[in-house]
Amino acid sequence: MKIKVLKNILSANDQRAQENHELFDGHKICAINITASPGAGKTSTIMAAIRALKGEIGIGVIEGDISSSIDAEAVSKEGIPAVQINTGGACHLDATMLSNAFDSLPLAEIDLLFIENVGNLICPASFALGEHKKVLIASVPEGDDKPYKYPVMFNQSDLVILNKIDLLPYVKFDRQRFIDAVRGLNKNATIIEISCTTGEGIERWLEWLATTIDDSRE
Ligand code: MG
Ligand code: ZN
C-alpha cells in the first residue's frame, strides 16, 4: 500500500510541474533546476552568472533551503529579484512549493529563472518542478566517487558542472575517473569544469546558458 501512496504523490507533483512549465513558456522564462550536495557551490555558480548577465537579460532566483534566507539575501544584494522557500525540514523542492513563489516574482521581466534546490543528491531527482533543464553541481573536495554513489541524479542531469577545480592540486581527486563515471551514467550530459574562485570555465557556463535560453524559446 505504501507504494500506491508514493505513486499518487508523484503524479500530483508531475501535474503541477506541467502547469509550472506552461506558465514558464507563457512568460518566455527559461527555468533551470540546480541541484548539488550542500556546499558544492550552487549559490556561487548562480552568482557568477548573475554578475555576468545582469543588465543584459532579466534574471530571477528561487532559493530552496530547509531554513534561513542567507542565499536569497546574497542574490538580492545584486539587485536581482529573489524568493526564499524554507521547506521546514523537507529535503527537496516540489512543484507546489515552487508555484507558491511565483506571486512574489516579476514574471513578465524574467528571461532566466534559477531554481536553487535544497542541497541533497538523492530525492530532488524524484520531483519535477517544471524546469527546462536540470543542472548538477559537483565539487572537487567531495571526491570523484559521487557519480557512482548517486547515479540517479547524475543520470537525469542535462549539465554536470565540476566546481572548485582550483583545488585539484591539493585534493585527491581523479578527474578522469569522475568524467568516466558521469559518461557511463549519462551519455548526453554536457560536462563543464569551473572554479567560482578563479573564474576559470565560467565562460563555458555562460555559453551553455545562452544556448539553453535560445532552445527554450523554440
Ligand atoms: Mg546555496
Ligand atoms: Zn527530499
CA of 128 to the centre of ligand 2 (A): 12
Other CB atoms within a 10 A radius of the CB of residue 44 amount to 17
Distance 30 CA to ligand 1 centre (A): 20
Calculate how far, in angstroms, residue 13's C-alpha sits from the geometric centre of ligand 2: 13
Q: pLDDT confidence of 144, banded at 50, 70, 90?
A: very high
Cα 49 to averaged position of ligand 2 atoms, centre (Å): 26
Angle formed by the axes of helices 42-53 and 202-216, to 10°?
Answer: 80
For residue 218, what pLDDT is reported? 81
Query: What domains, with CATH codes, occur in the chain?
Result: 2-216 (3.40.50.300)
Give dist(CA 105, CA 123) in Å, integer: 26
pLDDT of residue 165: 98
pLDDT at 150: 96
Is pLDDT of 146 > 80?
yes
Q: Say how many Å lie between the CA of residue 110 and the centre of ligand 1.
A: 20
> Once rounded to an integer, what is the mean pLDDT over residues 3-20?
83
Contacts of 6 (CB under 8 A, 6+ apart): none
Check: CB of residue 24 under 8 Å from CB of residue 132. yes
Q: Quote the ligand 1 centre to 3 CA distance (angstroms).
A: 32
In this predicted structure, what is the pLDDT of residue 83?
96
Q: Tell me, what's the pLDDT at 217?
A: 87
216 C-alpha vs ligand 2 centroid, how far in Å?
27
Q: Which ligand is nearest to the CA of 70?
A: 1
Ligand 1 centroid, distance to 2 Cα (angstroms) = 33
Contact in structure between 139 and 164 (CB atoms under 8 Å): yes
Give the ligand whose atoms come closest to the C-alpha of residue 35: 1
Please give the pLDDT value at position 2. 63
List, as one string, the DSSP characters of 93-158: --HHHHHHTGGGS-GGG-SEEEEE--S-SSGGGG---S-SEEEEEEEGGG-TTHHHHSHHHHHH-S
- Whether the per-residue pLDDT at 21 is higher than 60: the answer is yes
Q: What is the whole-number distance in angstroms between the Cα of residue 10 and the centre of ligand 2?
A: 12
pTM: 0.94
- For residue 72, the ligand closest to its alpha carbon is 1
Question: How do 112-116 and 59-65 pair as beta strands?
Answer: parallel
> Taking residues 107-124, what's their average pLDDT?
96
Q: Measured in angstroms, how far is the CA atom of residue 121 from the centroid of ligand 2?
A: 9
Does residue 117 register a pLDDT over 60?
yes
List CB-based neighbours of ion ligand 1 within 5 Å. 42-43, 71
Q: Residue 132: is its pLDDT beyond 70?
A: yes
Pull the grid cell for residue 203. Answer: 565562460
Contact 78, 72 (CB under 8 A): no
pLDDT per residue as tens digits for the range 155-199: 999 999 999 999 999 999 999 999 999 999 999 999 999 999 999
Ligand nearest to the CA of 87: 2
Examine the pLDDT at 1 and tell me if it is beyond 60: no
Residue 51 has pLDDT above 90, yes or no: yes
Q: Which ligand is nearest to the Cα of residue 92, counting in written order?
A: 2
